[in-house]
């Protein structure tokens, strides 16, 4: 039994949000043991001119205010995505707004982009040592914004040069109207403006722009998104955010409003991932998110078309030691199938 498994019953006695705050405090205080990021010739790869030591990243939502990306990198993650950050600080939705679905190994949240705002976040990112690992910035729009697209423009303008990549989060179900930006015309306008901001900045190393989509898309919506991201030559796609569906849940909190993440999301998110890989003809790197809690699941995402994977909810049930375990299992699976490097396995299900 690892330390987290011993302490988990204590964490589960308090609310999920209190437990998360304690975890952030422990990380900021240096109380969690850490080590070097696992390096492997099988797991490392270069994408967007960034050298990923392994493919397992921390999804947005854990480090909302860019406060603990360095200690989380030291837990073994190949990269860490901070945010979601909005231009103005906002409290988010009323509590309680996070629910553990223990029997389902899942979480429902309706946080609503609670964060300390762009100025606080910017200062945290500006203080980082660039050589310490890959850090992404996930940007969003304020709940009461009069112009959601302009919120993304503001976020990108202010943060350019401070993050290794940017995720355009238009798929959270907890900000009214946000998912409408996944529609063809709105998405076309949004990406046009963001690409212009990035390109006009004249940075020597232009950071990749990555779109994060929902798992609750029909075939036509997926096709429209693929068409627009290829038109704008977007750098990548994250599949997927949380779902509004409730697939075969048994926990008492199963009917709470909000986005569902964790184990029940795995099949749905992997199906959409595979679909987007086919629709984009494997031309852009995909990051697979949703329900990953072991090496076999990470491997399935990769074979379905993911170059990288992310996780968050699994940490609630397994603790930070999980990331090193997944990397070990993934390396063994790749070796077993005769692959010399992870890049050889990406999208292999489609061959």
Give the residue numbers annotated as catalytic, written as ranges.
172
| Contact call for residues 73 and 84 (beta carbons, < 8 A) | no
Q: Is the torsion defined by CA of 242, 247, 248, 254 positive or negative?
A: positive
| Residue 260 to residue 87: CA distance in whole angstroms | 25
Helices 219-231 and 266-279: angle between axes, nearest 10 degrees: 50
Q: Using CA atoms of 111, 228, 193, 181 in order, give the dihedral in degrees to the nearest 10.
A: -30
* Number of neighbours of residue 40 by Cβ within 10 angstroms: 16
| Contact call for residues 267 and 297 (beta carbons, < 8 A) | no
């Amino acid at each position: 039994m690892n330390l987290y498994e011993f302490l988990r019953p204590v964490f589960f006695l308090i609310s999920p949000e209190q437990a998360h705050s304690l975890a952030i405090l422990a990380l900021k205080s240096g109380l969690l043991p850490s080590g070097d990021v696992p390096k492997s010739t099988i797991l490392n790869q270069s994408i967007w001119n960034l050298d990923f030591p392994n493919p397992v990243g921390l999804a947005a939502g854990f480090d909302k205010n860019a406060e603990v990306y360095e200690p989380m990198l030291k837990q073994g993650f190949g990269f860490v995505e901070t945010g979601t950050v909005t231009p103005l600080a906002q409290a988010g939705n009323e509590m309680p707004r996070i629910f553990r679905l223990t029997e389902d190994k899942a979480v429902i949240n309706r946080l609503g982009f609670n964060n300390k705002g762009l100025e606080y976040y910017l200062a945290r990112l500006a203080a980082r040592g660039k050589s310490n690992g890959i850090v992404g910035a996930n940007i969003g729009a304020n709940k009461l914004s009069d112009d959601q697209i302009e919120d993304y423009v503001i976020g990108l303008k202010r943060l350019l040069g401070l993050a290794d990549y940017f995720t355009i989060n238009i798929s959270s179900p907890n900000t009214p109207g946000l998912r409408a930006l996944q529609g063809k015309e709105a998405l076309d306008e949004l990406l046009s403006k963001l690409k212009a901001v990035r390109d006009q900045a004249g940075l020597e190393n232009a950071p990749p722009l990555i779109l994060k989509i929902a798992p609750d898309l029909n075939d036509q919506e997926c096709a429209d998104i693929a068409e627009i991201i290829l038109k704008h030559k977007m750098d990548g796609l994250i599949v997927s955010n949380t779902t509004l569906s409730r697939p075969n849940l048994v926990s008492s909190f199963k009917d709470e409003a909000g986005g569902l993440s964790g184990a029940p999301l795995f099949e749905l998110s992997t199906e959409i991932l595979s679909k987007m890989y086919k629709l984009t003809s494997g031309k852009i790197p995909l990051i697979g998110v949703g329900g990953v809690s072991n090496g076999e699941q990470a491997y399935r995402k990769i074979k379905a078309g993911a170059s990288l994977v992310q996780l968050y909810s699994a940490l609630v049930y397994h603790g930070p030691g999980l990331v090193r375990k997944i990397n070990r299992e993934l390396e063994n699976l790749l070796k077993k199938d005769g692959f010399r490097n992870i890049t050889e396995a990406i999208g292999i299900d489609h061959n």
